[in-house]
Amino acid sequence: MKKHSARVAPLSACNSPVLTLTKVEGEDRTRENVVGTTDTQTAGGAAGAEPGSNRRRLHCCIRVTTVQVRKALWGVAMVMCVCSSWAGSTQLAKLTFKQFDAPFTLTWFATTWNCLFFPLYYIGHLCKSPERQTPRQRFRECCRFFGDDGLTPKVFFTKVAPFGLLWILTNYLYLQALRKINTTDVSALFCCNKAFVFLLSWIVLRDRFMGVRIVAAILAIAGIVMMTYADGFHSHSVIGITLVVASASMSALYKVLFKMVLGSAKFGEAALFLSIVGSANFVFISFVPVILYFTHVEYIGSPEDIPWAYLCGVAGLLFAFNILVNFGIAITYPTLISLGIVLSVPVNAMVDLYTCEIHFNTVRLIAVFIICLGFLMLLLPEDWDQCIIQLSTKLRKRDEPAEGSGEAGATTGLNWRGRARTSMSTFAH
């Protein structure tokens, strides 16, 4: 086993947000320690713990609850930022094509901004880390993510270049779809990538089978068919829907292959990986926009005609979006970050309603609803059914009247307080 394989454990691809590469180092170990401590203290309380033990238990519950509340508040802010950046980049790209009809050039320009990931990460490293390293030392340490030999030409062409191509294809097909259909349909259909991730991870990564996720995948496929039917199967609409579904498929393939080939990266490793993708895009793909220009496929009259403000706006919003979805798990839950993606659908719908002539017929509304519903169902944890059963059991026990009239009132009150503490400790985790 390679050295990096022992410390980078693959995560379930279905539980990660779109294009997420990172993991929080030591998160699992900390959670296990907190749960184990709380469980031990709860067992001691049931046997009649001392007042000091009760105070420690209460302090542990308050501390854990405070951390969760703080992460939830950060999650609300993160949802708003993810939704704004994703919906904003989609709407601004749509406006850009009215003046600059060059989707591949825009894709190349936006992807080149990925070069900024590692420099920004290194600045954060200098501000936060007590042990400061030189850029070369940090670069070499992050290169261990690719194996014992670091970033060799063989590793680049086998483990980096394919993901760079998938990245470009995902964004290019998405932008091409925006030229054909409205932003509401594009953003809703792109949410199907979560269902594609589940299907691929179930087949390739041997993820756990879950009936609710199969239902969600079926809803996503049904939503695609209904979205196509909403416009009457016109060729223009069918091409746009095909493009965005292909973009969602490339995104799902990117995530599943990354989990299978490279595992889960820490923040520095993910920043380096994305910077390498951006640098490779600038070095190896720059000739494609030039060819498209001279063949008049994506022709630009003069440099003065290029809307640089729109181009930089789209690239900046996409860059901010990728920062949020890849590094936001440091301050909040991945599920809350994923909610920002699906919330961009109603935001785009409101913008389309007031800025363009879009007809929200019944079929289109149902299609958007079931796609978003399938996306939300895929965010359910693997043990969601057990959590519901445990919660219903606790609520039923709480509503049952106290039995045993021969017990003293003080003893009965003590039992209820102990039950309340136990319920609170369990709910906190």
pLDDT in tens, 307-334: 999 999 999 999 999 999 988 888 877 8
Q: How far apart are the first and last CA of the chain?
A: 34
Looking at residue 54, its pLDDT comes to 55
Local structure of residue 209 (DSSP, 8 states): P
Which of 219-228, 338-347, 402-411 has the highest mean predicted lDDT (pLDDT)? 338-347
Cα distance between residue 119 and residue 233, in whole Å: 47
d(CA 262, CA 146): 7
Residues facing 22 on adjacent strands? 265
The residue written with tokens 């494609």 in the block is 288
114-123, 272-281, 312-321, 374-383: least confidently modelled range: 374-383
Residue 336 lies in a domain: yes
pLDDT tens digits, one per residue of 188-229:
899 888 888 888 888 887 777 777 778 888 888 888 888 877
**Rounded (10°) CA dihedral 222, 224, 230, 233:** -110
User: Which residues, in sequence order, are CB contacts of 81 under 8 Å at separation 6+?
Assistant: 320, 324, 340
When pLDDT is averaged across residues 368-379 and rounded to a whole number, the result is 85
Q: Please indicate, yes or no, if residue 393 is contained in any of the structural domains.
A: no
Q: Does residue 60 lie within any of the structural domains?
A: no
In a domain, 17, yes or no: no
Whether residue 402 is contained in a domain is answered as no
Task: Provide the residue type at 170 as one letter.
Answer: T
281 found inside a domain:
yes
- Please check whether residue 239 lies inside any domain of the structure: yes
Domain housing 286: 71-382
Q: What is the DSSP string of 167-227?
A: HHHHHHHHHHHHHHS-HHHHHHHHTTHHHHHHHHHHHTS-PPP-HHHHHHHHHHHHHHHHH
Q: In this structure, which long-range contacts are made by residues 149-156, counting pairs with CB atoms below 8 Å and at least 24 apart in sequence?
A: 151/276, 156/276, 156/280
Query: What's the domain count of the chain?
Result: 1
**Tell me: the pLDDT tens digits for 14-62?**
333 333 446 555 444 444 343 344 444 434 444 444 555 555 555 555 5
Name the phi and psi angles at 264, rounded to 5: -120, 130
| Angstrom distance (rounded) from CA 170 to CA 186 | 13
Is residue 427 included in any domain, yes or no? no
What pLDDT was estimated at residue 357?
A: 67
172: Cβ contacts below 8 Å, ≥ 6 apart: 103, 104, 107
User: Could you give the residue ranges of the DSSP H alpha helices within 97-160?
Assistant: 103-112, 117-128, 135-143, 153-155
